[in-house]
Amino acid sequence: MIETLAATVERTGTTLLGPMPLPTAGPAIAARTDGAVAIPIGDPLVDDSGLLDALGSRALLPDAPDWRAQISHATAGVTGSLLAAADTGSVAVAAGPGRPRALPLIPPHHWCLVDVATIEPTFADAFVRVAATPDALPSDLIWISGPSRTGDLEMVTTVGIHGPLAVTFVLIER
């Protein structure tokens, strides 16, 4: 499954990191970023990744009083993910309390922790798993398949319009 995902992200422009054990993921991200990094509170993957300690004062948490003003200055946003699809290179990221919608959107680099056990072969397989619990849908569930892109300039794909310029999936092996 990881091989399929690796082949797909080659096309979609996402970078893969890992697989690695969860506690090493936080330090790995901290070592590869500068400046303020926006992170969630209460995300099962991110909370146990050691990211908060590794970032120290660089961490921008959603309970910061000036979070709204700070988020547009963060250099990176980190999220966990519910599921991934190998054939499309997609991850499903749910918003919720402590997990703002802005994290995978406004900072220029999105780092997404992906538990390799949650990678499904196809988008449809992954989608069906979400659809199995329609009562548990978050207010915003977004499927992300790489850095933001546009085809509006003469039908030629240009990367990095509104959303992140770069996306990295950090694969976690438990």
Partner 1 sequence: MSGHSIVTPGPTMRARSKVALRDNELQAAISNLDRRLFTARAVADTDADTKARAAAIRRETLSDLDGWLDQLQVALERVGATVHRAATPAGARRIIVDIARREQATSVIKSKSMATEEIDCNDALEAAGLTVLETDLGEYIVQLAGERPSHIVTPTIHKTLPRITELLSVEAGAPLPEDRELLTQFARQRLREQMLRADMGITGANFACADTGTLALVTNEGNLDYCVTVPRVQVALVPVEKVIPRFADLATFLPLLTRSATGQAISNYVTLLTGPRRPGEIDGPDVLHVVLLDHNRRSLVGTPYEEMLACIRCGACLNVCPVYRSVSGHAYDSVYPGPMGKVLTPLLNAGTQGRDLPFASTLCGACTEACPVEIPLADLLVRLRADLRDHGAPNLGTRAGEHTPHPRTVPGDGHPWAAATAPLPDRPVRARSLKRRGFALWARVWASPYGYRMSTRGARLGARLIPRRARWHGRRIPAPAATSFLEQRRREQQGSSR
Point out which residues bind partner 1 (CB under 8 A).
12, 62, 67-68, 72, 85, 87-88, 90, 95-98, 100-102, 105-106, 123-124, 127-128, 131, 134-135, 137-156, 158, 160-164
Q: The tokens 């398949």 sit on which residue?
A: 145
How deeply is 15 buried, as exposed, middle or buried, from its count of CB atoms within 10 A (0-12, 13-18, 19+)?
middle
C-beta atoms surrounding 174 within 10 Å: 10
Closer CB to partner 1, 31 or 153, in the complex: 153
Cβ of residue 130: shortest distance to partner 1, in angstroms?
8
Tokens representing residue 132 in the block: 């199995």
Closer CB to partner 1, 14 or 118, in the complex: 14
Closer CB to partner 1, 12 or 24, in the complex: 12
Cβ of residue 99: shortest distance to partner 1, in angstroms?
8
Cβ of residue 115: shortest distance to partner 1, in angstroms?
20
Closer CB to partner 1, 111 or 123, in the complex: 123
Is the CB of residue 5 less than 8 Å from the CB of residue 139?
no
Is the CB of residue 76 less than 8 Å from the CB of residue 111?
yes
> Considering only CA atoms, which of 64, 2, 8, 17 is closest in space to residue 38?
64
Cβ of residue 39: shortest distance to partner 1, in angstroms?
13
- Strand (E) or helix (H) holding 18: strand 15-20
